[in-house]
């Protein structure tokens, strides 16, 4: 059962999200906050599996909280919830390694699926949202630098598989998969799985970088 911390500066929205999650028997809300600072304190105290954060909150927004979590090397999986999503916000979220991006208008229908997917190590990054990503460093043709095995691993990462599941599927070790991933990141000049997924998606759909 995943544990979750919620943060949104709109009390009605926060209550609505909490009620949606509370109705699910396989999800536990361990704390709520109306600010990014409050969310960060809760995450440090409660060590939840997932943090569902509004992108735009006064003072410290979701991306600021995520950046602090990355610096502190805390393993919580972050999902951003937002009313609107600009290309810059998508880019920033991808570079921070966010696990999910969810529009508030879609929350009533897809919130539970999103949380369950992220809890199962599957990123929730809708294709229509990821199409807005403009990789700032690596052009899509740099994927040709990858070896066949690296391209295979890149595809499996984009399918949402964890290192352990990739290792099981390829009949190798997690350490070997990790080494391949570091080589992939170095060649593509990126630094996380979300950026890799965005780059591969744009290549598959023929979107110019």
Give DSSP secondary structure letters for 18-83. HHHHHT-TT-EEEEEESSHHHHHHHHHHH--SEEEEES--SSS-HHHHHHHHHHTT--PEEEEEES
Is the domain of 100 the same as that of 152?
A: no
Segments of the chain scoring below 50 in pLDDT = 137-140, 207-209
The total number of structural domains that make up the chain: 2
- The predicted structure's pLDDT at residue 138: 46
CB atoms within 10 A of CB 69: 22
- Structure-token pair, residue 41: 């304190």
Let me know the angle formed at the C-alpha of 122 by 175 and 135, rounded to the nearest 5 degrees.
80
Q: What is the pTM of this model?
A: 0.69
Domain containing 194 — which CATH number? 1.10.10.10
Q: Which domain holds residue 179?
A: 140-205
Q: Which of 81, 105, 130 is the last residue of a domain?
A: 130
Is the domain of 111 the same as that of 154?
A: no
Whether 135 is in a domain gets the answer: no
- The predicted structure's pLDDT at residue 126: 77
Whether 199 is in a domain gets the answer: yes
Domain containing 72 — which CATH number? 3.40.50.2300
């Amino acid at each position: 059962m995943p544990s979750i911390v919620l943060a949104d500066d709109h009390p009605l929205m926060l209550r609505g999200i909490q009620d949606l999650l509370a109705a699910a028997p396989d999800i536990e809300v361990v704390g709520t906050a109306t600010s990014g600072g409050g969310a960060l304190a809760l995450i440090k105290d409660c060590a939840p599996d997932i943090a569902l954060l509004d992108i735009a909150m006064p003072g410290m927004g979701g991306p600021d909280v995520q950046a602090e979590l990355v610096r502190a090397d805390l393993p919580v999986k972050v999902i951003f919830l937002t009313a609107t999503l600009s290309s810059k916000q998508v880019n920033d979220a991808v570079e921070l390694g966010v696990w999910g991006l969810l529009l508030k208008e879609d929350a009533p229908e897809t919130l539970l699926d999103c949380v369950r997917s992220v809890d199962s190590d599957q990123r929730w990054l809708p294709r229509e949202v990821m199409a807005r990503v403009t990789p700032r460093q690596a052009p899509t043709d740099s994927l040709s630098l990858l070896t066949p095995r690296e391209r295979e691993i890149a595809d499996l990462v984009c399918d949402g598989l964890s290192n352990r599941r990739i290792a099981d599927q390829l009949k190798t070790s997690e350490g070997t998969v990790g080494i391949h991933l570091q080589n992939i990141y170095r060649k593509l000049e990126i630094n996380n799985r979300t950026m890799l997924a965005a780059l591969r998606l744009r290549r598959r759909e023929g979107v110019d970088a």
